[in-house]
Amino acid sequence: MKPETLLDAVDILTIPHIVTTRLDDGTKHFEQHDGLIAQLRQAVASSLGRTESGRSDPAARVPVNGEALIKYQQIEEAILQRFADVTERVPGLLPEDNLRAWYVEFHRYAKEPEEIAERDILKGWALWIREQFDPPRVRELVDSDGNAAACPECGFDWFDQVLNRGKGWADVQRSVALTVTYRDDERGGLTASFARCGLCGQTWHGPQGIRELAWDLENKK
């Protein structure tokens, strides 16, 4: 799998792309999605009572909140800033156009570490937007008897998770220590997924990490 470039991150935010979903019966389902910035804008617009006609309505899939509007404005602003850093031209109306125009200029002189730093920021935006439409699924790690697995790092299987705390009180929930968070990486794989202990914070990233944890748990029995 080739590493994602800055241009890949720009593309996913700005132009339509094909999303592959692996269905339970093993077949694959292909769907064309708008660029993520356009999806976020449409969702915000329809939550404000405006719709862009003739499009599949992402807002139908997601309850968009005030946070989404703020995030959209932050992204728009951050892109305008980047655009102004590289050119004196008047920016366009759409953040997608400005981001692509910025990329062309930036890519001319940027060194690899700068490109990687920008790529990671853009990937952060993409992840945030994607999770508005498709929140990650979190599964507790329990064995076939329903017993929680003990974390190989801290040894706990359950812990008291503090949900909220004030002076002299705490809202505590008894929780399974190990969970796996499945996150769509848009390639039908586990590269964006991870397992984590909610108590000690130990995290196992991607397919390799999750496999290692599974192996550990298997061999502890």
x/- string (CB under 5 A) for Zn ion, residues 11-50? Answer: ----------------------------------------
10-114-97 Cα angle (round to 5): 25
| The only residue of 13, 151, 192, 210 in contact with Zn ion, by rule CB under 5 A | 151
* Contact by Cβ (8 Å): 42, 59: yes
Q: How far is the CB of 25 from Zn ion (least distance, A)?
A: 36
Give the interface segment with Zn ion, choosing from 12-20, 52-60, 136-144, 199-207 (CB under 5 A): 199-207
The answer to whether 168 and 79 have CB atoms below 8 angstroms apart is: no
Q: How far is the CB of 118 from Zn ion (least distance, A)?
A: 34
Binds Zn ion by CB under 5 A, chosen from 97, 134, 140, 153? 153
DSSP state of 148: B
In the complex, least distance from residue 156 CB atom to Zn ion, rounded to whole angstroms: 6
Nearest to 220 by CA among 125, 153, 145: 153
Instruction: Give CA–CA dist 205/221, Å, rounded.
Output: 23
Q: In what order do the strands lie in the sheet with 203-205?
A: 137-140, 178-182, 194-197, 203-205
Q: Counting contacts by CB under 5 A, is residue 200 touching Zn ion?
A: yes
Candidate ranges 50-58, 103-111, 126-134, 197-205; the one touching Zn ion (CB under 5 A): 197-205
Q: How far is the CB of 191 from Zn ion (least distance, A)?
A: 23
Among positions 197, 204, 210, 213, the unique one binding Zn ion when judged by CB under 5 A? 197
Bridge partners, 159 (sequence order):
175
Residues 69-108 touching Zn ion, rule: CB under 5 A, are none
CA distance 63 to 132: 8
Structure tokens at 131: 């999770």
> Alpha-carbon distance 84 to 107, whole Å?
15
Least Cβ distance, residue 213 to Zn ion (angstroms):
11
Stretch that binds Zn ion, among 56-64, 79-87, 101-109, 143-151 (CB under 5 A): 143-151
Kindly state the smallest distance separating residue 145's Cβ from Zn ion, in Å. 21
Token pair belonging to 92: 């366009």
Site for Zn ion (CB under 5 A): which residue of 69, 80, 110, 154? Answer: 154
Q: Which stretch binds Zn ion (CB under 5 A): 58-66, 77-85, 128-136, 195-203?
A: 195-203
Distance CA(33)–CA(58), nearest Å, equals 10
**What does DSSP say about strands 194-197 and 17-22: parallel, antiparallel, or unpaired?**
unpaired
Name the residues that contact Zn ion, by CB under 5 A: 151, 153-154, 197, 199-200
